[in-house]
Amino acid sequence: MKSADNCVIIGGGAIGIETAYALRIHNKNVTIIEMEEQLLGGILDPDMASMVENYLESLGIDIIKGKRVDEVDGAECLKQVISGDIAISADMAIIAAGFKPDISLALHSGIEAVPAGIKTDEMLKTSADDIYAAGDCIINYSSIDGKPVLSRLATSAFKQGAAAAGNVMGADERYRGTAGTFVTRIGTFEVAGTGFNSVTAASRGFEPASGKITSKIKPEYYPDNSDVTVKVIFDKNSGIILGAQCAGERGAAERINLISMAIEFGITLDEFCRTEMAYAPPVSEVYDPLLRAADFGVRRMKRR
Amino acid sequence: MKSADNCVIIGGGAIGIETAYALRIHNKNVTIIEMEEQLLGGILDPDMASMVENYLESLGIDIIKGKRVDEVDGAECLKQVISGDIAISADMAIIAAGFKPDISLALHSGIEAVPAGIKTDEMLKTSADDIYAAGDCIINYSSIDGKPVLSRLATSAFKQGAAAAGNVMGADERYRGTAGTFVTRIGTFEVAGTGFNSVTAASRGFEPASGKITSKIKPEYYPDNSDVTVKVIFDKNSGIILGAQCAGERGAAERINLISMAIEFGITLDEFCRTEMAYAPPVSEVYDPLLRAADFGVRRMKRR
């Protein structure tokens, strides 16, 4: 890594962009190549992903979207990464294109599983009595609609582990599934999200709409201020909160955590709008951008 | 103010300590005199208030507790502030000892009111048809037990104003009362709270217990880290969350906002423990101090 000048990152998910940033601040030439038409595909909506892309490009990172890698080329050592008629000079390539769990132990033991993972019940018990499973190797469920969801986050693994361990010891703890709440920070840019993005929400049978705002995190007159962009996604008919995405210099994760909790406990958008957030000018606005985005959303709900 | 050297702040609430800090960073000699045995009395528990006191004292601010001011003394201009046998030299004094609303307009108009404020219903309507009231002039209610509570915060006033305005226009918006969620930041010290403190909780008929922890906000190995202290107060029997207090260099308000929402929506401590918070090492821990404090609390709940 120390002698590499030209680095190619294959895959523009969280690991890919974090790695790209880490190499770029060590003055490498960095290119991210991503097969989707946006970074953080399946997670962020395109408008929010473009904020991430703009930030990475402002650091001098090249981004190639909508292209699959055909070949990682070089006889003795790596020379280039090839995608169709594009050849990117590279003396280092990092594959950050996702993974599948190795569930062969479960399969060889006769424990029920599908390629996506081991099957468990809500108590994290597998098909075999007294055998529990937790983490990236199991099929995870959405806390929004209760159906399977691809979400392999430390957050889920940790909560599953805690619940499974408790149940092994005789507790009665249901794992409630995940909203896929995540955050990443690259340099001075924090991006966080939870729940479904707009495309996923629609594909799972909801009628998504959103409320979105970019606004200061502190009152206008206050020094050491910054912008945050918040997008809250909800079902037009029911007001169920389906997800949210947030980006800015700071303050993204803390707002997403509130939406994450609202999703988990079935708090609807109109209820959420009135939640009480701590206010003091050195810290926050009396009418927080998160609540403003939610209020904009409420106006787009179908009247019941 | 520019020519004053010795400043005395009468009252150690949020306004008092913020003002003390502002004067201290302009190199004034600053003394806070507070009649309670702690700063932020009625808001923080003594153990949490002592963190604030230690921080202010580390900046060189003098704090006198458990003393009432008897006299603000000086013939032509202020010379000293006197409390019993203590005389504090002063060429400036700031009274930050609370206030009562002026409700004479309501009283003269025959609108129902008591000394603490104007009476309204849940829709913010006064005893007079078509007249609504909001803000520090009305009697506020606790969102925890539904009984009157002294809480005069911009946060409440704003939410009441929004609800009252909506109702005037024909909406049907119930104001749900307040948990008294607040934050203040003095220099590099942020302190936030919500709900009842332990003494208030007991006086309102609950059997309070707490879970408390001081821990890093990011993983141990991560640079640019800091400590946060979290105390979650709950009813031992029911698991109802009664309040929380949080202090540290940063990250206090964001954690209190989660507890504030839990209180508002009646989420119990054992349910709260499993809420999903965004994790990435540059931002947060996978097992956040807030959830750790809540987990400690759960172990102290009476088994049902």
Domain coordinates in residue numbering, chain B: 6-95, 104-168, 182-298
Q: For residue B270, which of B248, B245, B302, B244 has the smallest C-alpha distance?
A: B302
The amino acid at residue B199 is V
Residue A32 CA to residue A56 CA, distance in Å, equals 10
Question: What ipTM goes with this model?
Answer: 0.95
DSSP class of residue B236 equals: T
Alpha-carbon distances of A107 from A110, A112, A150, rounded to whole Å: 5, 7, 20
Beta-carbon separation of A274 and B176 below 8 A: yes
A interface with B, Cβ–Cβ below 8 Å: 14, 143, 153-156, 158-159, 162-163, 176, 178-179, 181-185, 190, 192, 194, 253-254, 256-258, 260-262, 264-265, 267, 271, 274-280, 282-284, 286-287
> Tens digit of pLDDT per residue, chain A (304 long)?
899 999 999 999 999 999 999 999 999 999 999 999 999 999 999 999 999 999 999 999 999 999 999 999 988 899 999 999 999 999 999 999 988 899 999 999 999 999 889 999 999 999 999 999 999 999 999 999 999 998 889 999 999 999 999 999 999 999 989 999 999 999 999 999 999 999 999 999 999 999 999 999 999 999 999 999 999 999 999 999 999 999 999 999 999 999 999 999 999 999 999 899 999 999 999 999 999 999 999 999 986 5
The amino acid at residue B17 is I
* CATH 3.30.590.20 is held by the domain B104-168: no
- Name the 3-class secondary structure at A155: helix
- Residue segments in chain B with a per-residue pLDDT below the cut of 70: 303-304
CA-CA-CA-CA torsion sign (A291, B252, B212, B147):
negative
**Other CB atoms closer than 10 Å to residue A37's CB: what's the count?**
11
Two tokens at B304? 């049902």
Beta-carbon separation of A274 and B163 below 8 A: yes
Closest residue of chain A to B295, computed from CA coordinates: A162
Kindly report the nearest CA distance between residue A196 and chain B, in angstroms: 15
Residue B156 CA to residue A172 CA, distance in Å, equals 39
Alpha-carbon distances of B24 from A140, B35, B50, rounded to whole Å: 54, 21, 19
Two tokens at A146? 């209760």
Residue B37 CA to residue B64 CA, distance in Å, equals 9
Q: What is the pLDDT of residue A249?
A: 97
Two tokens at A111? 């424990």
Point out the residue among A183, A257, A271 whose CB comes nearest to the CB of B258: A257
The residue to which tokens 């294959």 are assigned: A10
Residue B46 CA to residue B49 CA, distance in Å, equals 5
Q: For residue B35, which of B12, B59, B5 has the smallest C-alpha distance?
A: B12
Q: What is the pLDDT of residue B274?
A: 86
Q: For residue B116, which of B128, B133, B129 has the smallest C-alpha distance?
A: B133
Class of B182-298 per CATH?
Answer: alpha beta
As to burial, measured by CB atoms within 10 angstroms (0-12 exposed, 13-18 middle, 19+ buried), residue B27 is exposed
Q: Do B6-95 and B182-298 come out as alike in CATH topology? A: no
B interface with A, Cβ–Cβ below 8 Å: 14, 143, 153-156, 158-159, 162-163, 176, 178-179, 181-185, 190, 192, 194, 253-254, 256-258, 260-262, 264-265, 267, 271, 274-280, 282-284, 286-287
DSSP class of residue A302 equals: P
Give the residue from A257, A264, A268, A288 with the most B CB atoms within 10 Å of its CB, the best one to mutate.
A257
Q: What is the pLDDT of residue B304?
A: 56
CATH architecture of the domain with range A6-95: 3-Layer(bba) Sandwich (3.50)
Kindly report the nearest CA distance between residue A194 and chain B, in angstroms: 8
What is the four-CA torsion angle of A265, A268, A269, A271, rounded to 10 degrees?
-90
Cβ-based neighbours of A234, under 8 Å, separated by 6 or more: A208, A209, A210, A211, A240, A241, A242, A268, A269, A297, A301
Residue B82 CA to residue B181 CA, distance in Å, equals 34
**Contacts with B191 from chain A: Cβ below 8 Å:** none
DSSP class of residue A35 equals: S
Q: What is the pLDDT of residue A304?
A: 56
Q: Whole-number mean pLDDT of chain B? A: 95
The length of chain A, given as a count of residues: 304
**Other CB atoms closer than 10 Å to residue A118's CB: what's the count?**
24
Of chain A, the end-to-end C-alpha distance in Å amounts to 59
